[in-house]
Amino acid sequence: MNVSLHSPPLWVDDQESIERTCTSLMQSNQIGVDTESNSLYAYREQVCLLQLSNKQGDFLIDPLAKVDLSPCAQIFASPIIEKIFHAAEYDILCLKRDFGFEFNHLFDTMHAARILGMEKLNLPSLLSELLGVERERNFQKANWGKRPLSKEMLHYARLDTHYLIELRDLLEHRLKQNNLLDLAREDFLRISRIEPAKRNSPLYAQVSGYHLLDPQSLAILDELCKFRDRMAQVLNRPHFKVISSSALLAVAEAQPMTTNELKNIKGVSSKIAERYGRDLIEAVKKGANKPPIVLEKRSRPSQDYLDRLQALQNWRKNTAKQMGVQSDIVLPREILDDIAAKHPKNKEELQCIMAEVPWRYERFGHDIIRIVEKR
């Protein structure tokens, strides 16, 4: 039974309170977890609020208070305490990136709902459908990096974890009824092991459509992206709040040499032209005078691989339709691709490829081998 919403959440913003809270939470069997970040408002996204709930209360931990959050590590790493998230992947990536936490024993209510074939997966919809709880969504795009947070924002934040234990219990019951709990646990383990991506690619690779540019235009786009990145750091804003990627792509294609030419480009507002026009033109000229960037051509996959991949995709689509779920629930795309590429000759080889998904191997291994043997 959850603590009443009439009792205020505990605001935790000093070291003593964090250590006391974590010591108390270590006695729990289940803890609801969520985070709030400032990705829409800062150059470098960071976790701005950590929400934790057990059956005794709701706790709002402030990472911006310059406190050491390492006492939380033992909670997240515990194989005994179940951590309940809704859409866990993003939160886990952020917590690993900012604090280096490791995770064991998860339950993801959104993924559980996906496995069950439910259509509306956002938290408010699930709370409404399964618990009869109605809640607003008016702070989804709020700036969680500002302090102090309003009472309304604090209430919104606590609701993200307040009902997770109860919601989890209902979803687990349905998973058991449908003999899908082992599949869910398989995916929860995979989610706990995801790691933040190491970005070694150039800035222009973040612009959709960059590969369609000719080599010299790509060199110009590279300089435009470097300028935008410098400005974003100075202003402490995300890239898109300086100038959109689509506008940079259009500038790289048009290659304007004057501010008047710049103003005529779709996506470049008069405000942007006035504020950054000189710098954008300078970036264009610099890119036009540097060596062109020639992208490495990808070799075309073999026809045998493409045939296997298509056959596996058709099987997965039909199986998903029979189960009433999305295709990736039957078999994640990266594992499907791996099977098509490695072309296992027997069940032992297939089992090695599907080592991370043993439930799926037991359930679908025979079908998969039958498909790839024909190709």
Residue 360's nearest CA partner among 314, 307, 305, 323 is: 323
pLDDT in tens, 132-187: 999 887 898 999 999 999 999 999 999 999 999 999 999 999 999 999 999 999 99
Contacts of 300 (CB under 8 A, 6+ apart): none
- Give the C-alpha distances (Å, rounded to integers) separating 140 from 53, 55, 122, 374: 19, 25, 12, 50
Contacts of 90 (CB under 8 A, 6+ apart): none
pLDDT grade for 271, boundaries at 50, 70 and 90: very high
pLDDT of residue 298: 83
Average pLDDT in the chain: 95
Would you say residue 1 has pLDDT above 70? Answer: no
pLDDT of residue 263: 92
The number of helices, as runs of H, and strands, as runs of E, in the chain is: 17, 6
- Give the C-alpha distances (Å, rounded to integers) separating 265 from 210, 258, 268, 277: 17, 11, 6, 12
What does the alpha-carbon distance between residue 268 and residue 276 come to, in Å, rounded to a whole number? 10
Contacts of 254 (CB under 8 A, 6+ apart): 261, 265
pLDDT of residue 81: 98
Which amino acid is present at 183? Answer: L
The three-state secondary structure class of 137 is coil
29: left (phi over 0), alpha (psi -120 to 50) or beta: alpha
What does the alpha-carbon distance between residue 354 and residue 277 come to, in Å, rounded to a whole number? 53
8-state DSSP, 31? E
Q: How far from chain centre, in Å, is Cα 122? A: 14
pLDDT grade for 3, boundaries at 50, 70 and 90: low
Before 148, cis peptide (omega within 30)?
yes
pLDDT of residue 128: 96
What domains, with CATH codes, occur in the chain?
A: 10-192 (3.30.420.10), 203-288 (1.10.150.80), 303-373 (1.10.150.80)
How many other CB atoms are there within 10 angstroms of residue 33's CB atom? 24
Characterize the bridge pairing of strands 30-37 and 82-85.
parallel
- Tell me the angle at which helices 358-373 and 333-342 cross, rounded to the nearest 10 degrees: 40
Rounded to 5 degrees, what are φ and ψ at 61? -100, 130
Q: Is the pTM of this model over 0.75?
A: yes
Characterize the bridge pairing of strands 82-85 and 106-108.
parallel
Would you say residue 29 has pLDDT above 70? Answer: yes
pLDDT in tens, 60-116: 999 999 899 999 999 999 999 999 999 999 999 999 999 999 999 999 999 999 999
Rounded to 5 degrees, what are φ and ψ at 281? -65, -40
What does the alpha-carbon distance between residue 22 and residue 71 come to, in Å, rounded to a whole number? 6
pLDDT grade for 36, boundaries at 50, 70 and 90: very high
Residue 316's nearest CA partner among 374, 371, 359, 373 is: 371
pLDDT grade for 2, boundaries at 50, 70 and 90: low
Instruction: Specify the long-range contacts of residues 273-277, CB closer than 8 Å, at least 24 apart.
Output: 276/227, 276/231, 276/242, 276/243
How many other CB atoms are there within 10 angstroms of residue 266's CB atom? 8
What does the alpha-carbon distance between residue 344 and residue 372 come to, in Å, rounded to a whole number? 7
pLDDT of residue 7: 84
pLDDT in tens, 276-329: 999 999 999 999 999 999 999 888 899 999 999 999 999 999 999 999 999 999
The three-state secondary structure class of 68 is coil
What does the alpha-carbon distance between residue 112 and residue 212 come to, in Å, rounded to a whole number? 39
pLDDT in tens, 43-52: 999 999 999 9
pLDDT in tens, 212-233: 999 999 999 999 999 999 999 9
Structure tokens at 106: 């998860």
pLDDT in tens, 188-201: 999 999 999 888 89
**Half-sphere exposure at residue 150, Cβ-oriented, CA atoms within 13 angstroms:** 7
